Amino acid sequence: MKKLWYYFMRAYIALGLDFYYKKILVKGKKNITKNKAILFISNHPNALIDPLLVATHSSRTIYYLTQAGVFKNKIVKKILDSVNMIPVYRVRDGLNSKDLKTYNDEIFQYCYQILNKKQALLIYVEGSHNFRRKVRPFKKGFTRILFGAMDKYNDLEIDIIPVGMNYTNVDGYASKVSINYGEPISFRLFWEIEDRNEAIKRLITEAENKLKLVTNHISDGENYEKIIPYFKPDEFLFPEKVNEKLKYINLNTVPQKSNNSKNKFNLLQLIVSVNSFFPLLIWKKIKPTIKQTEYISTFRFAVGITTFPIFFFIQKGIVTYFFGSTIGWIYLILSFLSVLLLTKTHK
């Protein structure tokens, strides 16, 4: 039953993401190995949207390590558990060092079992989310999972696959995103190194380098804001081109300005806004309460895939009452199609 629910939610979320993003590009899917344990390692610019995109655009069923703070609500916890999300506890979650170690030891044991069953696990190796277009230094938690699993199950074969998440606009509606799967790294080569500290050091270096190949990596933090204007938003969908262009940017030159003409009157947007008055009103009330900008897309998407269908069906019932079943169904179909069309044509 849980498996059936997982696939239903996966399909529903995938459909919702198509309504939310103007374009979703998936590259390097051939690098995802089959019938083998996988640890996906990814950058993390966009809170819960990142794992949802990977889950719905991968050939494998995936378990995800997620910060424990989002599991506090009992209803939310049940939903997250049902779609294979696993809480990871940190000091900021209010636990003392003893409880923190106990909770996370249980989580790590569970991760070992997942890998031993030749399943896939996703972890955000930077340890937190951040808008900046760069790969930040890795935390060591992922190495503990890998070495712990291999120490317990010596015959395991684990591939580490870097995943680059690159957005034209991280917190924007109807933006574009590319999901880039890099070439797998065989973990056994590092596990066989006798000096464990040296093995961990080499693994982190190799993994960071491989993730940088599939992620926009602007390493110059001091001049970060000056560098961004040299790129058009769509260029960020292709990290290999961005990283090559970064080598030749001269900050003494003036970046070419993009043609940002003012938005003209959009009849379709007006129709969708009127027809979706109540869902948009709910979002307007919720948005000011979001404390971290990295969660804006997560909450907007959550509001969208729940409130829009509910209110469209309620409004369909009203239309059916006054004009009959056929008109009601036509109204419902046109309601969804208008939102999809607005997303795909939005500027």
DSSP of 323-337, one letter per residue? H-HHHHHHHHHHHHH
What average pLDDT does this structure show over 252-273? 81
The domain boundary residue, chosen from 213, 246, 279: 246
Is the predicted pLDDT of residue 263 greater than 80, yes or no? no
The pLDDT tens digits of the residues spanning 201-227 come to: 999 999 999 999 999 999 999 999 999
pTM across the whole model: 0.92
Terminal CA-CA length for the chain: 41
Residue 231 and residue 279 in one domain: no
Helices 325-345 and 267-275 pack at an angle, to 10 degrees, of: 130
Q: How far apart are CA 264 and CA 81, in angstroms?
A: 44
What residues have CB less than 8 Å from 263, skipping those under 6 apart? Answer: 347
What residues have CB less than 8 Å from 220, skipping those under 6 apart? Answer: 227
Residue 234 and residue 272 in one domain: no
Helices 325-345 and 296-323 pack at an angle, to 10 degrees, of: 150
The domain boundary residue, chosen from 196, 211, 246: 246
Residue 322 and residue 238 in one domain: no
Residue 206 and residue 276 in one domain: no
% of the chain surpassing 90 pLDDT: 76
The pLDDT of residue 178: 98
Residue 154 and residue 236 in one domain: yes
Which of 96-100, 288-292, 326-330 shows the lowest per-residue confidence on average (mean pLDDT)?
A: 96-100
The pLDDT of residue 101: 77
Which of 10-19, 103-112, 159-168, 234-243 shows the lowest per-residue confidence on average (mean pLDDT)?
A: 103-112
SS3 for 143-190 is: HHHHHHHHHHCCCCCEEEEEEEEEECCCCCCCCEEEEEECCCEECHHH
Two tokens, residue 134: 């760069």
The pLDDT of residue 292: 86
Average pLDDT, the chain: 92
The pLDDT of residue 254: 86
What's the half-sphere exposure (Cβ side, CA atoms, 13 Å) at 156?
30
Which of 93-102, 142-151, 232-241 shows the lowest per-residue confidence on average (mean pLDDT)?
A: 93-102
Residue 330 and residue 181 in one domain: no
Residue 240 and residue 314 in one domain: no
Instruction: Give the domain extent around 305.
Output: 267-345
Residue 271 and residue 235 in one domain: no
Query: Would you say residue 262 lies in a domain?
Result: no
Two tokens, residue 336: 């969804």
Amino acid at 53: L
Contact indicator for 197, 247 with CB cutoff of 8 Å: no
Residue 166 and residue 101 in one domain: yes
- How, if at all, do strands 176-181 and 158-167 pair? antiparallel
Query: Would you say residue 255 lies in a domain?
Result: no
Which of 64-68, 115-119, 237-241, 285-289 shows the lowest per-residue confidence on average (mean pLDDT)?
A: 64-68
Residue 276 and residue 224 in one domain: no
% of the chain surpassing 70 pLDDT: 97
Q: How many domains does the chain have?
A: 2
What average pLDDT does this structure show over 316-344? 98
Query: Would you say residue 12 lies in a domain?
Result: no
12 versus 76: the higher-pLDDT residue is 12
Query: Would you say residue 260 lies in a domain?
Result: no
Query: Would you say residue 52 lies in a domain?
Result: yes
Q: How far apart are CA 41 and CA 211, in angstroms?
A: 8
C-alpha closest to that of 271 among 336, 176, 192: 336
Residue 151 and residue 38 in one domain: yes
Indicate the pLDDT class of residue 98, thresholds 50, 70 and 90.
confident
Query: Would you say residue 251 lies in a domain?
Result: no
Residue 134 and residue 227 in one domain: yes
What average pLDDT does this structure show over 75-87? 79
Question: The domain that contains 209 carries what CATH number?
Answer: 3.40.1130.10
Indicate the pLDDT class of residue 80, thresholds 50, 70 and 90.
confident
Is the predicted pLDDT of residue 253 greater than 70, yes or no? yes
